[in-house]
Amino acid sequence: MSKVFNFSGDDVFYHGGAVYPSPKESSLFLSLRNHVDVYFPPCKRSRVAVPFVFTEKKQKLSSIDVLPDECLFEVLRRLSDGKERSASACVSKRWLMLLSSIRGDETVISDLNPSLETERGSIQTALVKPVDCVKKGEVLDSNGAEVAEAESQDIEGEGHLSRSLDGKKATDVRLAAIAVGTPSHGGLGKLSIRGSNPIRGVTDAGLKAIARGCPSLRALSLWNVSSVSDEGLIEIAQGCHLLEKLDLCQCPAITDMSLMAIAKNCPNLTSLTIESCSKIGNETLQDVGRFCPKLKFVSLKNCPLIGDQGIASLFSSAGHVLTKVKLYALNISDISLAVIGHYGIAVTDIALIGLQNINERGFWVMGNGQGLQKLRSLVITACHGVTDLGLEALGKGCPNLKLFCLRKCTILSDNGLVAFAKGSVALENLQLEECHRITQAGFVGVLLSCGKKLKVLSMVNCFGVKELACRFPSVLPCNSLQSLSIRNCPGVGNATLAIVGRLCPKLTQLELSGLLEVTDEGLFPLVQNCEAGLVKVNLSGCVNVTDRSVSFITELHGGSLESLNVDECRYVTDATLLAISNNCWLLKELDISKCGITDSGIASLASTVRLNLQILSLSGCFMLSDKSVPFLQKLGQTLMGLNIQHCNGFSSSCVDLLLEQLWRCDILS
């Protein structure tokens, strides 16, 4: 061998010149593989001679790049300083991925003698030196930018960082950059991944990098990430023991196995959300209830494998700590509601949505279980089992209930609603939507039954409310009601408003939206009886309301009115704007979209000094022209938002002028 390479002895190396007598003697080359040749160049004295590898294009690789991953791993794990690790990660994707695979307990702080610290520093300098190429643009991949982005965001709450990857940005390489770049800047506290890159999407490898490099992770959200399976989530469970919040949505490859690992290894878990995960079932809820003593919030939606057994196990184990529960489109029956009513002693908020298998008995047993003494908020949507009997039981069994929202419950009638109102002695907020069997009698019955506590009443799309020519006895008014909202209830007219005016003298917020039967004659007595002073008025879609009633509102309540919306009130004209300029000194938000407003009305608004509008909407006011631009510029001194969409009378040059001069104002054009 020494004759071939022209040297003798172990300590003498070849110092240059042709290796072969003739360059054509290619048969003497050492062949590693097809079209790859190796020779030994001049080098310093060393125990190991590392060859340069040449391809047909004769591109040189540095000696460090030919090291196998195992050796490079041993080198990189001795970079204990965060800046050194981040800089090294910018060299190549190979280095980045190797660094992201190093656990915190695998990092070697110092395994050298003190006398060798100088040599250690030179080794690290040699390793990190290629990073200078990032500044010069000589590194071919994008690792430097990704690591820099992972480090650049500000530190949030308790010294932990927050990161969010959406769509095409969600890749394993970016997760690896986050895992390497964030530990030296406070540690990753919150990670949200929504969607995935269709070509190089997030996989288990990316989650493994986070698990190894970010033990401080407290909140993890995975939405629509189909390539992540139990393998990646189990790594999170084993590496992120501080995890407090887990949110999984549309993750079809995740099963009970990884969720059980989360439950057993993350005792600080306080919030769990599972949505549209077809392979997660009852076993998850059993272990979460058993091993997570700090669990406060659970949201379960559209998980076909979750049934009564899982809900029963969860509440029987964690009912004394759970405070907020949301059950949406699950295959559960009356048994689950019975368990909740008995064991939910700490629950304050419950949302039951789209539970088609729940009958009247379930709600009745839930109310009579005597376990929901602390319940303060109850939302029931599209549960056809809600009847008068069940609702009455809920009212009596939840003495501290303050907010009740009932949507799309078509069986409930006036009798059940009034009985519930009488039993709910602490009720402050009642919201009804698409409850078509509720009539004017039920609406008035609620006002009469909740006269001491009720502060907010809302009715939306309740088609059963009709104008009835009936007289109600003289009763004490509902002095507690401050906010009334009636939207898109076509049967509500002037007679109903007259009753409201008699019973609700303390209203400060009034919303009457989309009521085609309401006219000025109905508004006059209602507005006149509002003793406390109206602060917010919304009459959008009341097409028969004119300047008479709106001007009357500004005259009576101009000293308190802060928000006025008359969108689509076609009979509202410049006279209303003149009344506003004379009376409404505190008005901050004004919506006069699709009204009969002209340039003169805008001039009236701009003429007053006391008006300090912040939001002005003129959308669809087709009679406005460029003459209004100087007045809008004057109003723009206080405006924060201006909507001039579909105002075809404005020329493009005037719109550009407004955009230029009102640069502090958010303009929709």
Q: What is the DSSP string of 358-417?
A: --HHHHHHHHHTS--TT--EEEEES-TT--HHHHHHHHHH-TT--EEEEES--S--HHHH
> Is pLDDT at 322 greater than 90 in this prediction?
yes
Helix axes 574-583, 547-557, angle to 10 degrees: 0
Residue 284: CB atoms within 10 A of its CB come to: 29
Q: Hey, which residues does 322 pair with through a beta bridge?
A: none
Helices (H), 129-214: 132-136, 143-152, 172-181, 204-213
| Angle, alpha carbons 231-94-103 (nearest 5°) | 50
Pairing of strands 536-538, 30-33: unpaired
Please name the amino acid found at residue 560.
S
Pairing of strands 52-54, 161-166: unpaired
> Is pLDDT at 501 greater than 70 in this prediction?
yes
What are 383's two structure tokens? 């549960």
What are 380's two structure tokens? 């029931």
pLDDT value of position 169: 86
Q: Using one digit for the tens of pLDDT, what is the confidence trace for 201-229? A: 899 999 998 998 888 999 999 999 999 99
Helix axes 143-152, 93-100, angle to 10 degrees: 40
Residue 598: CB atoms within 10 A of its CB come to: 17
What are 570's two structure tokens? 């076609």
pLDDT value of position 634: 92
Overall average pLDDT of the 238-253 stretch: 95
d(CA 199, CA 194): 15
Q: 136 Cβ partners below 8 Å, 6+ apart?
A: none
d(CA 113, CA 132): 29
pLDDT value of position 10: 47
pLDDT value of position 185: 74
SS3 label, residue 195: coil
> Is pLDDT at 128 greater than 60 in this prediction?
no
Overall average pLDDT of the 182-196 stretch: 85
Given its phi and psi angles, is residue 159 left (phi above 0), alpha (psi -120 to 50 degrees) or beta?
left
Number of H helices, E strands in the chain: 25, 23
DSSP E strands in 95-217: the ranges are 161-166, 188-194
Q: 635 Cβ partners below 8 Å, 6+ apart?
A: 602, 605, 606, 613, 616
- Reported as a pLDDT band with limits 50, 70 and 90, residue 358 is very high
Q: Using one digit for the tens of pLDDT, what is the confidence trace for 443-459? A: 988 988 886 789 999 99
d(CA 434, CA 382): 10
479 versus 591: the higher-pLDDT residue is 591
Overall average pLDDT of the 400-424 stretch: 94
Task: Look at residues 407, 415, 499, 401 and name the one whose alpha carbon lies nearest to residue 454.
Answer: 401
SS3 label, residue 546: strand
Overall average pLDDT of the 323-349 stretch: 97
- Reported as a pLDDT band with limits 50, 70 and 90, residue 301 is very high
Residues 645 and 621: beta-carbon distance below 8 Å: no
Overall average pLDDT of the 357-386 stretch: 95
> Is pLDDT at 148 greater than 60 in this prediction?
no
Side-chain-side CA neighbours of 575 within 13 Å: the count stands at 12
What are 551's two structure tokens? 């001007």
- Reported as a pLDDT band with limits 50, 70 and 90, residue 16 is very low
Q: Using one digit for the tens of pLDDT, what is the confidence trace for 505-551? A: 999 999 999 999 999 999 999 999 999 899 999 999 999 999 999 99
Task: Look at residues 172, 186, 184, 181 and name the one whose alpha carbon lies nearest to residue 150.
Answer: 181
588 versus 100: the higher-pLDDT residue is 588
Overall average pLDDT of the 623-635 stretch: 93
What are 266's two structure tokens? 């993350």
Residues 562 and 587: beta-carbon distance below 8 Å: yes
| Angle, alpha carbons 338-340-345 (nearest 5°) | 130
Quote the radius of gyration of the chain (alpha carbons, Å): 36
pLDDT value of position 640: 94
Helix axes 282-291, 308-318, angle to 10 degrees: 0
Q: How far is CA 244 from CA 99, 184, 266, 469, in A?
A: 26, 22, 8, 58
* pTM of the predicted model as reported, rounded to 2 decimal places: 0.79
- Reported as a pLDDT band with limits 50, 70 and 90, residue 155 is very low
Q: Hey, which residues does 431 pair with through a beta bridge?
A: 405, 458
pLDDT value of position 219: 96
Residues 246 and 214: beta-carbon distance below 8 Å: no
- Reported as a pLDDT band with limits 50, 70 and 90, residue 471 is low
> Is pLDDT at 337 greater than 70 in this prediction?
yes
- Reported as a pLDDT band with limits 50, 70 and 90, residue 45 is very low
* Longest Cα–Cα distance in the chain: 121
Percent of the chain at pLDDT > 90 equals 61
The label of the residue with tokens 């006069």 reads 592
d(CA 660, CA 649): 19
* Cα torsion angle, 492, 498, 504, 505, sign: positive
Residues 344 and 316: beta-carbon distance below 8 Å: no
pLDDT value of position 212: 87
Task: Look at residues 588, 632, 633 and name the one whose alpha carbon lies nearest to residue 614.
Answer: 588
d(CA 13, CA 488): 93
18 versus 433: the higher-pLDDT residue is 433
Residue 93: CB atoms within 10 A of its CB come to: 17
> Is pLDDT at 503 greater than 50 in this prediction?
yes
- Reported as a pLDDT band with limits 50, 70 and 90, residue 89 is low
d(CA 508, CA 553): 12
Question: 532-544 in b/e burial notation, b at 16+ Cβ within 10 A?
Answer: eebbbbbbbbbbb
Helix (H) / strand (E) element for 485: namely strand 483-487
In a 10 Å sphere around its CB, with 0-12 CB exposed, 13-18 middle and 19+ buried, how is residue 67 labelled? middle
> Is pLDDT at 116 greater than 90 in this prediction?
no
pLDDT value of position 86: 65
Residue 38: CB atoms within 10 A of its CB come to: 12
pLDDT value of position 181: 77
Residues 541 and 514: beta-carbon distance below 8 Å: yes
pLDDT value of position 663: 87
Overall average pLDDT of the 240-259 stretch: 96
| Angle, alpha carbons 475-404-343 (nearest 5°) | 125
Q: Could you give phi then psi for residue 92, rounded to 5 degrees?
A: -160, 165
- The residue length of the chain stands at 669
Question: 447-456 in b/e burial notation, b at 16+ Cβ within 10 A?
Answer: bbbbbeebbb
Q: What's the mean per-residue pLDDT of the chain?
A: 83
